[in-house]
Amino acid sequence: MLGLEELRKPCSRLKRDPAGSKGGALALAFSCIFFVFCVFPSMSWAVDPEALIRAGLMEKARQISWQGKYQEAAAIYQQLIKENPEDIEALLGLARVLSWQKKYPESVAIYQQVRELRPNLPDGEIGLLRLKAWQGEHSAAEEGLKALLAKYPERFDILFLLGQVTAWQRKFEESVAYFRKLLELYPDNVEAIKGLANTYKWMNNTNEGVKLYAKILEKDPNNVDALMGTGILYSQAGKNKEAIIYLEKAKILAPDRADVRAMLGTLYSYNAQLDDAVTELQKSVALEQGNIGNYIILGRIFRWQHKKEESIKLYQKALELDPRNTEAMVGLGRAYLNDDRWDEAEELFLRAQDIDPNNLDAKDALKQLRRFKAPEANIRYNFLESRLHDPNRGRIDSTFIDHRGTLETFFKLSPKTTLQIRYQHAQSKQLGLSNTTTNFNVNTDTASLGLNQKLPSNFNMRFRADLSRISNNDSANNTSNLLETENDFAGYFILTKEYRRHLLRFTLGRELFVNANVGFSTIEDINTYSVSYDAGISKFFSTLVLLSLSDNSTFNKLKQDHAFRARYRLPKYQKIEFEYQFRYLSNPDTYRNTIGINFQNQISRNFRYEARYAFTASNSNFDFEDFNRNTVKLFVSWDINSWLAWSTDAIASVYRLNGENDYVLNLQTYLTIRF
């Protein structure tokens, strides 16, 4: 009988048996004519055209189903069944495709039909046990398969399913044993090799799994499942770039495989390629609309991108498909939390805990929400010391020292409104080192009331009003005393508008300071008006433009303070960031150029630190020489537990001015208590 290739392409036999001469070709031609007119009619019983058509359709249905074109494959199987309702092979193919589409009731009905048509054929029973396993009834499926294995000890699909079912129950040693037995019986069977490789994949055994997938790819370089499995194993080993290479090749070979698209989208999200991740996951959702996992992953990425509405819709769609899916509940709750819908978020977290009391994600999300809603108190201590050699103000050397203790409490009145109540005690003094006298020494007690209000269209408004009472401390030893205790107001107003990676900020501020330049000290103020634009050009590059005016009551004239800053984060090592800043100040005109490097590291979930070094070069038309400054900054943050956190911000700067080394030391430490 002719082979399949010959039946598809009759001339292919001529290619394998060419005639050696013109005479040979003529002889071959006469032989073909003789075959057609004399022999073929007598062999018509051996080649059934309808059987050939059916075989071709069956092969096509199998191929396109493996490519993820389930509806097209189902249509072919249904056509074959329509022509022959008892076509067992077509019935089994249709049941298999329906099960891949998770249409379990329809698949069960067909397997039962097969069992009724052929009671002695185990395929129907095997199909039903496979469905049980896929629907989570692993123990029952395993028991039934073992009973069948006793009757059919060398049946491929029984051993294969047992290897899968035991692996799904994390009985990995048993799974490996079943697949090894299968490979003893069928040493070169690609599906058996793939089954064992999948078990190693679930065991996170990258080395053994990759070896087996490589063996498959040697036989079939375009095997999509092997490419995908290799990619998953590399991803589990943290090698996302290598994983993406394999998944991208799998996508080219099978562009309509929803699982390939979903996995590639997930890998892109791990690699922070969020736009690419969205593209792949949206395609996956379009190909397989009933797959809840794809909706959840895409919803999570939209939440990371702060696309609240899109994220919420996807999680809601997932819950429509499965109202008891706790992962979708927690994801939707987190999306509601980002959208300031606290009550709805809390309800979802609680419902997820009721369904699964051991759900850690639901517990963590509920703790985060309640911690976020709870009042919060900050206890802060600030120490500042600076030495300045400033002959222009009549002092050879002077040191300024400031100690501040602050207690502030934040009350969240609603998801969009936070109230701040603050009390601060400060002791500020200036020492003249040339004669060891104290120029001034004052205490300042400040009570503050502030509000943070989220407004529509991504606007946010903050303001704080301060009432300060300033009085002498140990006034007998001061050369520049306050004449009397003074009360005065200060504070700020900030309005921001956020749009994706862009932030526009407008600020009005008033702060107080002690002026001890001449005679008795006085309390002066600085009124500042500023606008800034922070633009995230890309994930790695951002710029900031700041325009500011200050009205200093001491000098009765406006001072300009304008700055431009650019930051660049290394793509391959994102813990390091470079910074350049240009700053212009007026009265006197001064130009400052700063180059800095930042390093930040998250050691654990609760502990992180940041270090910074910057060098500033400055020139001025004022009557002292150019100076430069070296600054080192260290920031440490530690979330001790859910209700207590500690952080410290330390800055040390050394100035070079007129041949003298001056310095600024600033230490701030915070203790945050969440009730």
The three-state DSSP-derived secondary structure of 512-552 is: EEEECCCCCEEEEEEEEEEEEEEEECCCCEEEEEEEEEEEE
Distances (CA, A) of 69 to 66, 281, 294: 7, 17, 17
- The mean pLDDT value for 531-552 works out to 92
Confidence of residue 573 (pLDDT cuts 50, 70, 90): confident
Whether the per-residue pLDDT at 73 is higher than 90: the answer is no
Q: Are 168 and 151 a contacting pair, CB within 8 Å?
A: no
What would the mean pLDDT of 607-617 be, rounded to a whole number? 93
Residue 85: per-residue pLDDT? 86
Give the C-alpha separation, 638 to 648, whole Å: 9
Range of weakest confidence among 26-35, 626-635, 657-666: 26-35
Query: 437-455 pLDDT, tens per residue?
Result: 778 889 999 999 999 999 9
Q: What is the pLDDT at residue 452?
A: 95
Integer CA distances (angstroms), 242 to 220, 239, 245, 261, 279, in order? 20, 6, 5, 16, 20
**Least reliable range by pLDDT among 19-33, 208-222, 237-251:** 19-33
**Cα–Cα distance measured from residue 463 to residue 282, given in angstroms and rounded to the nearest whole number:** 42
Give the residue from 394, 373, 383 showing the smallest Cα distance to 670: 383
Residue 555: what pLDDT?
Answer: 63
Which pair of structure tokens corresponds to residue 489?
């107001």
- pLDDT tens, residue by residue, 481-523: 888 899 999 999 999 998 878 999 999 999 998 887 767 888 8
Please state whether 298 falls in left (phi above 0), alpha (psi between -120 and 50) or beta.
Answer: alpha
When pLDDT is cut at 50, 70 and 90, the band that residue 369 belongs to is: confident
pLDDT of 203 above 70 = yes
For residue 570, name the pLDDT band (cuts at 50, 70, 90). very high
Over range 608-625, report the average pLDDT. Answer: 77
Would you state the pLDDT for residue 39? 42
Residue-level pLDDT at 606:
86
Task: For residues 55-67, give the mean pLDDT.
Answer: 82
Cα–Cα dist 496/179, whole Å: 62
Stretch 134-147: mean pLDDT: 88
The confidence score (pLDDT) of residue 460 equals: 95
pLDDT over 60 (residue 582): yes
Q: Which CATH number fits domain 48-121: 1.25.40.10, 3.40.50.920, 3.40.50.150, 1.10.3720.10?
A: 1.25.40.10
According to the per-residue pLDDT averaged within each range, which of 5-9, 290-294, 336-340, 620-624 is highest?
A: 336-340
pLDDT of residue 13: 27
* Token pair for 385: 């010391």
Residue 102 Ramachandran class (φ > 0 left, ψ -120 to 50 alpha, else beta): left
Long-range contacts of 216-225 (CB under 8 A, 24+ apart): 216/190, 219/188, 219/190, 220/190, 222/253, 223/190, 224/66, 224/67, 224/250, 224/253, 224/254, 224/257, 224/260, 225/194
Rounded (5°) CA angle 593-595-599? 155
Residue whose structure tokens are 């696309």: 307
With 80 as the cut, is the pLDDT of residue 375 above it? Answer: yes
Lowest-confidence region among 334-343, 347-356, 527-536, 542-551: 334-343
SS3 category, 626: coil
Greater model confidence, 136 or 408: 408
For 164-183, give the DSSP string: HHHHHTT-HHHHHHHHHHHH
> What is the pLDDT at residue 157?
87
Question: Distance between CA 224 and CA 66 in Å, rounded?
Answer: 9
- Residue 37: its pLDDT value, please? 44
Per-residue pLDDT at 528: 94
| E strands, 586-643, in order | 590-602, 607-620, 627-641
If you average pLDDT over residues 334-360, what whole number do you get?
A: 88
Q: In the predicted model, what is the mean pLDDT of residues 246-264? A: 88
Residue 462: pLDDT band with limits 50, 70, 90: very high
pLDDT of 289 higher than 50: yes
Residue where the block lists tokens 């001056």: 662
Where residue 436 falls among pLDDT bands split at 50, 70, 90? low
**In this model, does residue 652 exceed pLDDT 60?**
yes
DSSP 547-592: EEEEEETTTTEEEEEEEEEEEEE-SS-TTEEEEEEEEEETTTTEEE
Length of the chain in terms of residues written: 675
Placement of tokens 């501020």 in the chain: 509
**Which range is most confident: 255-264, 270-279, 454-463?**
454-463
Which are the contacts of 430, defined by CB distance < 8 A and separation ≥ 6? 398, 399, 400, 401, 438, 439, 440, 514, 516
Q: Answer for the pair 523, 512: CB distance below 8 angstroms, yes or no.
A: yes
Residue that has been written with the tokens 């399913």 in this structure: 161
> Which residues, 6 or more positions from 48, have their beta carbon under 8 angstroms from its beta carbon?
none
Where is average pLDDT lowest: 23-32, 371-380, 587-596, 604-613? 23-32
High-pLDDT (> 70) share of the chain, %: 88
Cβ–Cβ < 8 Å for 426, 394: no
The greatest distance separating any two alpha carbons of the chain, rounded to the nearest whole angstrom, comes to: 133
Residue 471 has pLDDT above 70, yes or no: yes
Q: Considering only CA atoms, which of 253, 211, 254 is closest in space to residue 229? A: 211
CATH of 455-674, picked from 1.10.357.140, 3.30.390.30, 3.50.30.40, 2.40.160.40, is 2.40.160.40
pLDDT score of 19 more than 70:
no
Distances (CA, A) of 120 to 96, 124, 129, 345, 486: 20, 10, 16, 55, 102
Topology agreement, domain 48-121 and domain 455-674: no
DSSP 475: G
Residue range 532-561: mean pLDDT, rounded: 87
pLDDT value of residue 445: 96
Greater confidence, 349 or 19? 349
**What are the residue ranges spanned by the domains of the chain?**
4-42, 48-121, 455-674
Report the chain's mean pLDDT, rounded to a whole number.
83
Confidence of residue 433 (pLDDT cuts 50, 70, 90): low
CA dihedral 190, 195, 196, 199 (to 10 degrees): 150
pLDDT of 624: 43
Q: How far is CA 51 from the centre of its chain?
A: 53
Q: Which residues are within 8 A (CB) of 255 and not within 5 positions of it... i.e. 6 or more apart?
A: none
Beta bridge partners of 562: 547, 584
Residues with Cβ within 8 Å of residue 150, at least 6 apart in sequence:
none
Residues 6+ apart with CB under 8 A from 625: 657, 658, 659
Q: Are 371 and 643 in contact (CB under 8 A)?
A: yes
The answer, yes or no, to whether the previous bond of 415 is cis (omega within 30 of 0) is no
User: How far apart, in whole angstroms, are the C-alpha atoms of residue 286 and residue 288?
Assistant: 6
Q: Is the pLDDT at 342 greater than 50, yes or no?
A: yes
